[in-house]
Chains A and B, each alone.
Chain A
Amino acid sequence: MSFDQRVIKNGRLSMGLAIIANFLPAIVYSVMYGTFPGIGGILTIWGTVAASYGVSWVVQVIAYHPTMGAAGSYIGWLAGSCGDIRMPAASIAQTMAEVEPGTHEGTVIGTIGVAMSVLVSASIITIFIFIGNAVIPLFPQFITDSFSHIQPALFAAVYIDMMKRDVVHGVISLVVGFALYKVMALVGISTAFITVGVIVATVLIARVMYVSRAKKNA
């Protein structure tokens, strides 16, 4: 069996096992505490996450494939952080070993880089989870209380970071999104559809701006 064939065989085997393990906590917790959301509930949840992240599932996996290769994709997508940890690790490994990306040598060394980065980040996360779990009960009340403000701070900071690339689009989307949210909530439309509505509106605004800018440049 060639190297590539072995990569695919082992990669698909571990991905298959990972998909089963991925659902383990949800299944066990639902059964233990009798909180299974029902088929309808599952479909609503699936629809909501698909509306929110579905584009990333498809486009990211395809877009990173040429750089990550098959083995890199198997390790990288299981461990995550492809953009900010795996790709930089693969590329620095290739530079240090003086191999070209896109060649067989480059793929082998790039995969070594991705694998090393997974071992490092899994160790760091594991260490910090245990430290965090041990020290959180010792935090003063002030700190523990302040964690309830993390979501507005996080989503606002990330939003600012994302809209830097196109400030006009970012501002319009937020204003239109806010109005849409209020109107849809007022009419009594369910949350899952409000999520979809805001995302679709944002993409439509981007499309209108993209087309009109293309026309202006033409």
Chain B
Amino acid sequence: MDYQAFQATLSSPVMWIVSAPLVIISVSQAIMFLGMCRKEAAAIGISKEKVNSAMRSSALTALGPSLSPVIVMLSLIVSIGAPTAWMRLCDVGAARTELGVCSLMASLLGVEMNTETFGAEAFTYSLWGMALNNFGWLGMVFFFTHRMDGITAKMEEKFDSKWIKVMMNSASIGLFAYLLINQIQSLAMTKLTPAVIGAVMQLLITKGFSKNKRLQELSLGISLLCGMLITQALINAGIVA
């Protein structure tokens, strides 16, 4: 299968059909629990006005953060196709997590995303990688949520919760260190330039404009755009090669 034929498979009707069920289940589940809880709220005497204001405010709160991964979303559409991007952004795993998994899978096969080396095999690896990664959270919830009250009590007794927090942070730092190193390990300017611009912009926005909350929400998007566009401009101008 040549590259163009492979690209067509990414957004074939079949991919839309197999990607839809998870989104449908997630939305139906939300609607079902919404109905259950509204009934329960009425039964325990919470007024309709309060319930409506809770619904309105939570919907508004969700607006901003739902929009913020739009740049990564566009790049996911380009590299793994719209149906898969849609399904994976509607389920657990942030946009950057899904991109991280695809990047890991590409590195397992020694290929690179957004190039002709990323073909049907690498895409299959990515599909399995995202499914197995998400299964980690889904499986945990499926097997343990109904007996979680006992588990949390035992955990607090047994472990140093401060260290658990540090360990969790450092594990995700380690992962992103790997992902970043894997990108820049050849020390090629085409890889270093976007990394440096992205890092500097992120530092500038989060440190320099720390009081502007709107800007903080957009910071990752802005840093990405600057990194991508400036690098491409420098390449086109022949400055970075």
Contacts and interface: CB of A to CB of B under 8 A. Distances in A.
B215 interface: no
Q: Is the interface of B mostly helix, strand, loop or mixed?
A: helix
Contacts, number: 514
Contact of A177 (B53, B75, B177): B177
Q: Is the interface of A mostly helix, strand, loop or mixed?
A: helix
A93 B38 CA distance: 13
B34 A14 contact: no
Contacts of A122: 23, 26-27, 30, 90
Interface residues of B, number: 154
B27 A118 contact: yes
Contact of B141 (A61, A90, A124): A61
Contact of A199 (B11, B71, B103, B178): B178
B9 A25 contact: no
A30 to B, nearest CB: 6
Given A155-B179, A162-B172, A147 B125 contact: no
B58 A19 contact: no
Interface in B189-210: 190-199, 201-203, 206
B18 A116 contact: no
A141 to B, nearest CB: 10
B175 interface: yes
B128 A42 contact: yes
A122 B219 CA distance: 22
Contact of B178 (A59, A136, A177): A177
B57 A21 contact: no
B77 interface: yes
Given A49-B129, A97-B53, A112 B38 contact: yes
Interface string B195-237: 1111101110010000000000001100110111101110110
Nearest to B231: A149
